[in-house]
Amino acid sequence: MRPMRLGLLAALIVAVMAPAMAYAAPAAPSVSSEARKQGMADAPALVSAAGVNCQVSDARLAGKTPPDKKTGSLGATVYEVACGPNSLGFLIQTNAPNPPQVFSCIGSNYPADLSKPTSPCILPANIDLIPAVDALAAKSNAPCAPTKVRTIGQTTTNTLFEVACADGHDFVISGSVPLDATKPATIINCLQTETSGSAKCLLSDPAARLAAEDGLAKLSDPGCVVKDRRYIGPLADGTDGYEFACQSGKGFILKITSKGALSETLDCAKLSGGGCTLTDTRAATAEQAGLYTKLSKNAGSSCVVTKYAVFPAQGDKETVEMVCGDGNGAIGIFPATGKGMVLDCGHALIAGFKCTLGKVDYTALTNDLKKFDKKECVVSSTGQPLKAPDGTIRLEVACSDGLPGYMIQFTDAQTPKDVTACSFAGNCVLPTNKKKG
């Protein structure tokens, strides 16, 4: 299930309802034969009338409230019902002439105020509800198996409760009314509910919830010793965002799914639009620019990188648009191991990349023409690369003198194979290259 968004959750947590247990169940978990006999006799019809999905396995008469002439109340009767092992039992209250009301044993056994326990459900199948909560949490794609539970409340349509795991994760589950472990449920991160003020989680503190993701930070960067961390919030793709700052000065944003899996790591030094607040991005950016300068030098380029932007990852290669010290643009393609290559903006087109940050210098394309004795043309602009049936790439170029240009054929982004004058090529489209008349 997708995590629940805050608008819905805030609307749901408007009232906490509880059954009227004036004459509640005894404190000790024992059930008299009379109470069980009465419960088993009445429960099936009440379950049917309430529309509850339950094969009654056990039931008891839990208590009654007498009629009250002052309020006009006709009195109420409360039953506890169990639906078999690993199910979420409930209390059902009759309020004649109104339909029966149903309340999950979650609310009775795991009260909202942990210092004020309520009268719990005591049928054997209803005492330990953690296994059923685990099953519901797994169905809602929770990141872990809960070990603690606390009710938040119940409305006419949703049962809300907080669950916490041994690893520090803490979240809110919203299920059906009556709460049914076989029906869909949604989850929302407690860090989100507290940021918005829609609900306060009490089973763990925020610092522990944040620290629960340190393992994923280590997975993203094994060398990172976490210095600081913060919760960013839900992101557009359905993940939750966390920022981590390392003792080394590096930082990154993790995108984590509702199941607790790492979806993506975003290096703060490579985020051109910002987003990191715990990391000195200026220092990190300068360090990264220095790294790209070294990689460029290793690839045989003299580019001293002053500015850069990272393209989406493609396998084990990192592709970076760079601005060099002279203002010219370049595209760096750096594999995880071995030498990479740096392409000027003209040859980058053949590789499928377009420069947008720096100046476009066509000197290298002019030199390609000279290799085929076309020395009179200084390349001033280019057309779009065209792939030929034989797998080669053709790039149209125009000349600065306004005379017809050429179509250059490449076997790869750096190797010209042939040159054809546009007056003969027949498929040139640049204004100075089209045939006149």
Give CA separation, 193 vs 1, 47, 162, 172, 347, in Å: 18, 34, 11, 8, 51
154: nearest Cα among 19, 9, 47, 15? 15
Give CA separation, 243 vs 15, 224, 232, in Å: 34, 13, 7
Strand order in 262-267's β-sheet? 226-234, 240-246, 251-256, 262-267
pLDDT averaged over every residue in the chain: 85
pLDDT at 101: 87
pLDDT at 91: 92
At residue 149's C-alpha, the angle toward residues 14 and 44, to 5°, is 80
Is the pLDDT score of 116 beyond 80? no
Mean pLDDT of 364-368: 96
Report pLDDT digits (tens) over 228-259: 999 998 888 889 999 999 988 888 999 999 88
Interstrand relation of 240-246 and 226-234 (parallel, antiparallel or unpaired)? antiparallel
Worst-scoring range by mean pLDDT, 114-128, 273-287, 381-395? 273-287
216: nearest Cα among 187, 162, 259? 259
Q: Which CATH number fits domain 213-278: 3.40.91, 3.40.50, 3.10.450, 3.30.505?
A: 3.30.505
Name the pTM for this structure: 0.60
Counting residues of the chain whose pLDDT is more than 90, the rounded percentage is: 41
Worst-scoring range by mean pLDDT, 279-293, 297-311, 343-357, 389-403? 279-293
Per-position b or e across 304-331, b if 16+ CB within 10 A of its CB: bbbbbebeeeeeeebbbbbbbeeebbbb
Domain ranges of the chain: 6-192, 213-278, 282-351, 363-433
pLDDT at 7: 42
pLDDT at 15: 35
